[in-house]
Structure 1
Amino acid sequence: MTEARKIAVIGAGWAGCAAAVELASAGHAVTLFESSRTLGGRARAVELQDQTLDNGQHILLGAYSATLSLLKTLGVSAEQALLRLPLQMRYPAGCDGMDFVAPRLPAPLHLLTALLRAKGLDTADKMALARFSTTARWMEWRLHTDCSVTELLERYDQTARLIKLMWQPLCIAALNTPPERASAQVFLNVLRDSLGAKRAASDMLIPRTDLTSLLPQQAAAFVERHQGAVKTGAAVQSIRAHGQQWSLGFNNEEITAELFDGLVIATPALTAANLLAGTGAEAHIPAFDYEAITTCYLQYPAGTRLPAPFFALTDDATQGLWGQFVFDRGQLDVNQDGLFAIVVSISTAATELGQEALSAAIAQQLAQALEMPQLAQASWSKVITEKRATFSCTPGLQRPEEQTALPHLVIAGDYLASDYPATLESAVRSGVKAAKLLAQHFA
């Protein structure tokens, strides 16, 4: 049996929670520190109008194997906690869009059938999509040299309509980076593990509950059941080495008397860089550029419903059309009847309007796109913006590794080296990897 060690995990976002669970499972005594009062980091619950919502609407994928495995470890039934839908890109009638829904057939028949049945695409669009998919598989989803998504789509002669209705919204949703600046290789990685894998991997999974309840709270309870501790409102400002052990300094400059055998720093990149300074474990953490994501919540009378749980929307900033996806929260949770969540990725320009003007513009957009005039006036609205929701996922971006120069100190986060962009899955994978590195050191 490996000797149990005392481990501090700094940061209770999804990466920190994943690391804490992995280490607790291995028999180590884990203390999880979180500066906020709410667990979850940039994917957490917020209280609005006497309702528990999220700071941003998320979609997971069936390909998110690490996240689904962690939920299973925590005893969370994915089938109950997540609404599983087949891969789809559906636009409401007022958008001049497309209707693409993959049937539940074995791969790749599900995509071929969806393409043949797709509405809103002509023959040239469908041939371009088939050609891209076939070529990407033949290339094994790899590029010799990374480029932008726009360059990739131009290289393979994708039609303007297909780019507008499918590739651009998929790129923005997955990478939160505009196609002209987004990494084609990372985009291909996401497509490889969803479109290029088994049919279930391409399924879209929408949380029925708030994100904090879905995983972070369950992770905290798991740690506590395994003789660990969870401390919220505990902002770690510094770390100090004592031989092969560590003490922590907090926002009141108090230094813990308690010493830890190992550390996992699972904070945002800038915070991690500051904590590592002067420790001998400095990692090269670049000064990332960041992209904002905004979610606009609009409440309508009970019984107001969409024909489907979510739709894509055609956005055009020049016409004041900001929303990119709309979710009917009432189809996810009966307690949120009549509540819609509208996502605006890469949202810096949208937020410059101000919350009231942006909410009004989005309500008008919904009324037109869904051909439901009553949506132009919501009973209440709330706009939530995460200004540093993700790093800008550009071609050739070098991202640091979890291991530092000191084997008893590791870092974790969605910004670390990964095939994926800044997603919940990349955060969980990084947390698990960091924990295993630390556990191997103590083995």
Structure 2
Amino acid sequence: MCAARSSLSVAVVGGGWAGCAAAAELARAGCTVALFEAARALGGRARAVEVEGHTLDNGQHIMLGAYIETLRMLRLVGVDPAAGLLRLPLQMRYPEASGGMDFVAPRLPAPWHMLVALLRAKGLERADKLALARFTTSARWMGWQLNVDCSVAELLERFDQTERLVRLMWRPLCLAALNTPIEHASAKVFLAVLRDSLGARRAASDMLLPRQNLGALFPAAAAGYVQRSGGAVHTGERIEGLTRDADGWKLLPGGQRFDAVVLTTPPYQAARLLAGLPEAQPLAEQLNGFSYEPITTCYLQYAPGLRLPLPFCALQDDPVAGHYGQFVFDRGQLDAGHAGLLSVVVSAARDASGLDQQALATAVAAQLAAALGDPSLATPVWSRVITEKRATFACTPGLVRPANETPLPGLVVAGDYTASDYPATLESAVRSARAAATAILSYRALPRKKRSLSQTDGGAGGPSVQ
């Protein structure tokens, strides 16, 4: 299953997707791994919660076929992506009578799948289709890159995108991917997402919807893999601080010692853990500088016989009119045990998160009834609203994100907030975890004496974790 046991012991602090991926990757390489999570359940901001007797997610997620590292990691820990994920072609589809659009990429080789989708798209005028073709052609010619970052709104204005196309496609795509409004979102990062969706080969552009709760899909499987590989998983155990001496790293409280540490907690928590390490203060200040955007998921239970025409579809949001939902998912089409259960996502949910939960659920149910032309949707059997107030960092233009390496040998950070051309997604968390594990494994190659050198002992900085 994994390489021969290494002499290197590694503590992974934080049991979200980045932490679980880092622990599994290090276990695969033969390190002795201990994974620590303060909560009782693994998964972090993509975890399972109990709602009215159902095990659901604290937020609905969509992945892409381009999430190569996530798919690789699922296979590593024994999860078959074909069984755990529903694969759908790239699409932006609104309820038929809602005045939206219907855009579906057929299963044809790239770039024909996008060309045919554009020609067949309903609900777009000729000017809208020409604007979309002009944008994607220019972005492909640019290599989906910008030399100087700007807001997504400014980028769309440069390419003369129509108001209808912005409202029905670009704005909801930006909210779904970056969880940041187009007026404040990074165009560079948005283009990277489009590169792997609109600009990707057909399979890479596919949308992947979890068929089971996110905790079962990966964190639980990763924990089992770590334990089968000789490691340990500690839930309900909060790490309060770190110290370092000639023998390595010590976790507080408890004083457990390790050769190396991977911090995979959210930035503000990682900054707190770094507070007692003078060499790490610039990094701690950077981590404390992030701002955040919330995501709200509204669960609405109806009679088990309810079934939407599609597994998920887009909604036209208008907070002024009390329409907050941006996408609705038919959970019953993903998991038969959730028949009649709908989940509605509100990204960048500042307006929605300020409402009373029952008031928001009532507003969302009314929005569904109007969009789908079914008055019965206004009165669900029960509802539950879950808001992650710091779901993702605000992905703004020119944002500088930290590298995995820190100034201290044997200490690295990982998470969806680290340097990447992707926004805060499960894929960026898993990519970061692999980079952090690679840095730790490079550290393993150093003689033990050199591992224990402080940065100042080495004159030029001692052995850095590369």
Q: What TM-score, normalized to structure 2?
A: 0.93
Structure 1 residues 233-258: Cα deviation after superposition (integer angstroms, max 9, x where no partner): 00101111121411111xxxx332x3
Mapped pair 1:182 → 2:181: no
Letter in 1 for 2:260: G
Distance in 2, Cα, partners of 1:395 & 1:228: 40
Tell me the residue number matched to 1:360.
362
Distance in 2, Cα, partners of 1:377 & 1:3: 58
Residue among 109, 121, 124 paired with 2:124: 121
Letter in 2 for 1:259: R
Tell me the residue number matched to 1:323.
325
Tell me the residue number matched to 1:265.
263
Tell me the residue number matched to 2:198.
195
Contact 1:94 1:368 (8 Å CA) reproduced? no
Distance in 1, Cα, partners of 2:137 & 2:57: 38
Residue among 107, 111, 121 paired with 2:110: 107
Distance in 2, Cα, partners of 1:331 & 1:228: 37
Distance in 2, Cα, partners of 1:95 & 1:315: 11
Contact 1:286 1:399 (8 Å CA) reproduced? no
Relative distance call for 1:352 and 1:94 in structure 2 (3 A) is: farther
Aligned runs of 1:368-379 on 2, under 5 Å? 368-379=370-381
Mapped pair 1:228 → 2:234: no
Tell me the residue number matched to 1:436.
438
Tell me the residue number matched to 1:29.
32
Moved more, 39-48 or 93-102: 93-102
Moved more, 188-197 or 52-61: 188-197
Tell me the residue number matched to 1:50.
53
Tell me the residue number matched to 2:147.
144
**Deviation of the 1:286 alpha carbon:** 4.5
Contact 1:314 1:323 (8 Å CA) reproduced? yes
Tell me the residue number matched to 1:417.
419
Task: Note the residue ranges of structure 2 that are not aligned, 5 or more in a row.
Answer: 446-466
**Deviation of the 1:189 alpha carbon:** 0.5
Tell me the residue number matched to 1:157.
160
Distance in 1, Cα, partners of 2:349 & 2:39: 24
Structure 1 residues 203-234: Cα deviation after superposition (integer angstroms, max 9, x where no partner): 00000000000000001000000100000000
Moved over 4 A (4+): none
Distance in 2, Cα, partners of 1:180 & 1:79: 37
Tell me the residue number matched to 1:75.
78
Distance in 1, Cα, partners of 2:298 & 2:367: 12
Tell me the residue number matched to 1:281.
280
Report the secondary structure of 2:225's partner residue. Answer: helix
Mapped pair 1:400 → 2:402: yes
For these two proteins, the number of residue pairs brought into alignment is 438
**Deviation of the 1:259 alpha carbon:** 1.1
**Deviation of the 1:198 alpha carbon:** 1.0
Distance in 1, Cα, partners of 2:367 & 2:16: 33
Report the secondary structure of 1:79's partner residue. Answer: helix
Distance in 2, Cα, partners of 1:369 & 1:270: 39
Contact 1:93 1:371 (8 Å CA) reproduced? no
Relative distance call for 1:323 and 1:312 in structure 2 (3 A) is: same
Distance in 2, Cα, partners of 1:3 & 1:312: 49
Report the secondary structure of 1:236's partner residue. Answer: coil
Q: Percent identity?
A: 61
Residue among 426, 429, 440 paired with 1:427: 429
Letter in 2 for 1:272: A
Residue among 389, 392, 395 paired with 1:390: 392
Task: Note the residue ranges of structure 1 that are not aligned, 5 or more in a row.
Answer: none
Structure 1 residues 97-128: Cα deviation after superposition (integer angstroms, max 9, x where no partner): 00000000000100000000000001110000
Tell me the residue number matched to 1:255.
254
Mapped pair 1:216 → 2:219: yes
Q: What TM-score, normalized to structure 1?
A: 0.97
Distance in 1, Cα, partners of 2:254 & 2:59: 35
Letter in 2 for 1:239: L
Structure 1 residues 168-206: Cα deviation after superposition (integer angstroms, max 9, x where no partner): 000000000000000000000011122212111110000
Distance in 2, Cα, partners of 1:328 & 1:382: 15
Distance in 2, Cα, partners of 1:14 & 1:302: 32
Report the secondary structure of 1:115's partner residue. Answer: helix
Structure 1 residues 56-106: Cα deviation after superposition (integer angstroms, max 9, x where no partner): 000001111110010011111111100000000000023210000000000
Residue among 86, 90, 106 paired with 1:87: 90
Mapped pair 1:309 → 2:308: no
Letter in 1 for 2:343: A
Report the secondary structure of 1:94's partner residue. Answer: coil
Distance in 2, Cα, partners of 1:39 & 1:291: 22
Contact 2:243 2:276 (8 Å CA) reproduced? no
Structure 1 residues 312-344: Cα deviation after superposition (integer angstroms, max 9, x where no partner): 000001101000000000000000000000000
Letter in 1 for 2:254: I
Contact 2:242 2:276 (8 Å CA) reproduced? no
CA RMSD of aligned residues (A): 1.0
Distance in 2, Cα, partners of 1:413 & 1:108: 33
Tell me the residue number matched to 1:14.
17
**Deviation of the 1:262 alpha carbon:** 0.5
**Deviation of the 1:373 alpha carbon:** 1.1
Contact 2:300 2:381 (8 Å CA) reproduced? yes
Distance in 2, Cα, partners of 1:70 & 1:266: 16
Letter in 2 for 1:308: L
Residue among 276, 296, 299 paired with 1:297: 299
